[in-house]
Chains A and B, each alone.
Chain A
Amino acid sequence: MGRLVGFLVNPVAGMGGRVGLHGTDTAARAVEARRRGGSPVAPLRSARALRRLASSRGADDVTVLAAPASMGAVVAASSGLRVRLLDVGVGNPTSAADTAAAAAAAAGAGADLLLFAGGDGTAADVLSAVGRSIPLLGIPAGVKMRSGVFAATPEAAGDLAAQHLRRLARVPDGEVLPALLTTAEVVDAHPADRMHGGRSHDADALGERGRRAGEWAGSDRAVQTAQPAVEPGPMANTLIGVALVPRADDGRLVGTKSSTSLQGGTALDTLAEAVASELDPETLYLVGPGTTTSRVLGALGLEGDVLGVDAVTRGELVGVDLSEDEILGLVDEYPRTGLILGVIGGQGMLLGRGNQQLGPRVLSRLSPDDVTILSSPDKLVALRPALLRVDAGDQASFPWLTGYRRVRVAPRRYMMMRVDAA
């Protein structure tokens, strides 16, 4: 039976990179990128990925479900692969809403995998539309690719797509093999820009998770730090969500720039099990957002909210996706509180992006020893510079948040990381 690959290209992705823009994730930036002489990057890079897929074993069984025109069909037509058009319209110029619509259409048409070309913004748009209903694989073609859904190169994306489809062919229809899939974080920078910089799609198109990201970013502090749309400013990644991705068995497919490896999380599971087994029964543990920390809950047989702050004690979930007030209420009930944090890939944010619930009022109840930071070593090694960041809102009150801290990377291994104020 044939395999279906959804395929979409964000045609303006990557244009800003060589002309000094951080991305083209607002309409204004795309226009500015063109004005500065940026030329399309994504069509060429996605063509490289499809060429690789077309020359792989089993390519005869593959049908590409392409988004129309410049969003996929043009590139797919010359790939040598069988192509069917997705039944969606696209605007001119194309927009984030078009990306989301095409992704949803591919999922609706029963695609086995959604291959998309773009950067973090595109990944966020795709994820908002399809969630974890279909595995995603990013062809790196944007300016910022901090999300773990991207392969290292277009060719690596083609290889991994081909490998995944071949593996699927060996699995009975309708059966989902966990061994073939893993999860990866999708992060995106400049959330404030996205809300206030005139991005061409509105919050509804981002879906529920996107709106939440917007809410965090829309706090007063984020508004104050918002940069003009075309000025380079400090990057601030937010965890947008968690995508399903094909599992790569060759680590070399993934660049160290990616924040979460497409590799399986066996090593992280071992770490999570160690952390879970050492939890003190008298302590309330606040578990921050992210896939790494959620593995600790997983090791306890619990499922929290991967994007929110959860609370656990004595092996039981006592709060999911807590607000700051709810956290404070719980902290009052227990003699001791521990905080388990992950690292947001790409910029190494610990606090202040995507977890503002852990603000000054909560932090004032903690001491340095109460905080456990978990990460894969790969994620730390990929940080340039090797630095973690916190934005506690009221930095002066928490000198202990900064300086060197141990990050646990395996049951008995730690990396000594410097933590600076963001």
Chain B
Amino acid sequence: MSGTRGRRYHAAVWDEPLVHELGHPGRRGALVPGVESEVAAAAGDPLALVSPTARRRVPPALPELSEWEVLRHYLHLSQQTLGMMGVSLFGTCTMKYNPALSESLTSLPQVREVHPLQHEDTVQGLLEIVYRLDLVLRELSGMDRFVFQPGGGADAAWLHVCMTRAYHADRGELAERDEVVTTIQAHPCNAATAAAAGFKVITLPLEEGGRASLSALRSAISERTAALMVNNPDDMGIYNPDIGDWVESVHSVGGLCFYDHANFNGVMGKLRAADLGFDACMFMLHKTFGAPKGNGPAVGAYGCTERLAHYLPGPLVTAIGLDGKPDPQGASFDLPAFGRADVTFRLVEPERGVGRVREYLGNLPQVVKAYAWVRAMGADGIGEASDLSVLVSNYIDARLRSVRGVTRSNPEVGTHRLEMCRYSLETLAQETGVGAVDVQHRMTDFGIDAFWLSHEPWIVPEPFTPEAGELWSKEDVDEWLDVLALVCAEAYEHPEVVRTAPHRQVTHRLDGGALDDPARWATTWRAYRAKRPAS
């Protein structure tokens, strides 16, 4: 522990106000000269160019700051983020470093400056990248067609329930098929999107072996089943070996099967959704495929088999050969040279598409970054990354088992876990009163990013879910584990220190209660002022 870099850490402390609380009335960054009278006379009233319904009656209450005040404000904020300064094993999110090379590609004018309404002849290169990533994902999943429109994993799950509705409606069975089956450890958006689409949700609990049972599934499904939506492995790193039988059972009653690949990192290149019989699947480009995640645009790449493809939301990018026939290459990982003269890329609308779930082709810069990532990794590299992430996960497991106060989820399941596993600090909490949230806070005092606890509901008490993926070095993983062990030991010796953490951060604990209190929550500056006049 003595060699741990994090022990010398202290966050920059600016206690930076909100930008609204800075500046002064009338202060400006740049003064724009007024319109010259000749120009004004020629152009007429600029307000007349704006529809009366879109005109503000009063100017927006924007902060008024000089340029350098703005710069200083954001510089302070940037110094207060942990970002890549710490070590982040933020499980279930598969946080990956986003290579600078990928960033630079999306800064190219051919990507950055295109307009979604440009004629397709002028963006052939970009369309080809979309098409090529589609081919790669087909290879990784066995599916027949991908679309990148969904703006995230939940959006892709939503697309699946829309596709499910369309499929059953076409067969005249939608009224009878009003149930979606999922498991308690599946990506929570599966249950949520199914419910939002009007389906009843049947959830299977974890049973023997730390997973939902085939017999529970068979009892749950019937001619009312519209779809099965699951992950495999789940957030506890446990793979369901019966998954083929699951899919077969659901198909036998006429339901569709959706494989949510939120936890793909441990099985990349090891299995293919279509080979297991699934009708559709989803990859998160913003986590598994090296594109940025968090508060920005994301992509839930949704793929399906031929039988569902005509319900996909358009436009889809299709390659047209000289003979005028689509898809001349077919699904092949051996990509031909870029910019072939005998192939053009066109946008087509599927016959009975469910309609847009997002604008245009989705968040294209993410698609470009993901394409750069798969080409940099190569097919072998993707499989190797998977091996590495499982190896690191089991290394973490071995070390965590010797930390006092830590237990592994489903302790009765003695087998190795795949990538990512959930642990519990329940013993620590019972013996010291220090819970997972306290430990999470205290670890940031050592320059470790706050870890991820668990999806809701908490099946595992006082949970935490570390995930290193293939990115972090052994030194970084060891440092993370050293700090966790140190904080747990500290909990036994000086519980107050941990319970009152963080001590070396900018802000002390936030009042989380306001998040659940409509009288206090505030998502805008205006609401903040209205609800907390004293602040």
Contact = CB atoms under 8 A, between A and B. Distances in A.
Interface stretch (A186-194, A213-221, A377-385): A377-385
Contacts of B205: 380-381, 386, 415-417
B514 to A, nearest CB: 10
Contact of B219 (A256, A386, A404): A404
Interface stretch (A124-132, A150-158, A234-242, A391-399): A150-158
B429 A415 contact: no
Contact of B200 (A250, A255, A414, A417): A414
Contacts of A140: 430
A361 interface: no
Contacts of B517: 249
Nearest to A387: B207
Which of the listed residues A249, A257, A386, A406 has the most CB atoms from chain B within 10 Å of its own CB? A386
B77 interface: no
Interface in B91-145: none
A416 B204 contact: yes
A4 to B, nearest CB: 25
A256 B459 contact: yes
Given A404-B215, A406-B202, 18 more contacts: A152-B429, A153-B435, A255-B461, A256-B459, A385-B207, A412-B199, A412-B200, A412-B201, A413-B191, A413-B203, A414-B202, A415-B184, A415-B202, A416-B202, A416-B204, A418-B207, A418-B213, A418-B216
Interface string B184-206: 10000001000100011111111
B513 A249 contact: yes
A250 B510 CA distance: 13
Contact of B461 (A250, A257, A417): A257
Given A153-B433, A386-B207, A406-B202, A416 B220 contact: yes
A378 to B, nearest CB: 6
Interface residues of B, number: 34
Contacts of B499: 155
A255 B426 contact: yes
Nearest to A52: B433
Interface string A149-168: 00011111000000000000
B220 A404 contact: yes
B475 interface: no
29 contacts: A48-B433, A140-B430, A152-B461, A249-B513, A249-B517, A250-B512, A255-B426, A256-B457, A256-B459, A377-B203, A381-B457, A381-B458, A385-B207, A386-B206, A404-B215, A404-B220, A406-B202, A412-B195, A412-B199, A412-B200, A413-B200, A413-B201, A413-B202, A414-B202, A415-B205, A416-B203, A416-B204, A416-B217, A418-B207
A373 to B, nearest CB: 14
A128 B61 CA distance: 60
A281 interface: no
Interface size grouping (class) on chain A: 20 to 34
Contact of A252 (B206, B213, B217, B435): B435
Interface string A400-416: 00011010010011111
B83 to A, nearest CB: 27
A414 B513 contact: no
B184 A381 contact: yes
B242 to A, nearest CB: 15
Nearest to B459: A381
Contacts of B203: 377, 409, 413-416
Contacts of A154: 433
**Which 6 A-B residue pairings sit nearest by Cβ, starting from the closest?**
A404-B219, A155-B433, A386-B205, A416-B220, A412-B200, A413-B201
Interface string A128-146: 0000000000001000000
B435 A377 contact: no
A412 B208 CA distance: 26
Contacts of B229: none
B334 interface: no
Nearest to A158: B433
Interface string A45-71: 000100010000000000000000000
B437 interface: yes
Contacts of B21: none
Nearest to B499: A155
B38 interface: no
Contacts of A249: 513, 516-517
A320 B37 CA distance: 87
A298 B191 CA distance: 29
B74 to A, nearest CB: 33
A250 B216 contact: no
Contacts of B195: 412-413
B154 to A, nearest CB: 17
Contacts of A404: 215-216, 219-220
Nearest to B204: A416
A255 B424 CA distance: 12
B167 to A, nearest CB: 21
B437 A252 contact: yes
B457 A416 contact: no
Contacts of A406: 202, 220
B409 to A, nearest CB: 12
A141 to B, nearest CB: 11
A380 B457 CA distance: 11
Interface string B203-235: 111111000010111011000000000000000
A256 B204 contact: no
Given A249-B516, A415-B203, A378 B457 contact: yes
Interface in B333-392: none
A147 to B, nearest CB: 17
A148 to B, nearest CB: 15
B462 to A, nearest CB: 8
Q: Which of A154, A255, A416 has the most CB of B within 10 A?
A: A416
A380 B207 CA distance: 12
Contacts of A381: 184, 205, 457-459
A416 B216 contact: yes
B368 to A, nearest CB: 39
B458 A256 contact: yes
A418 B437 CA distance: 33
B433 A250 contact: no
B433 A385 contact: no
Interface string B434-460: 010100000000000000000001110
A385 B208 contact: yes
A404 B217 CA distance: 9
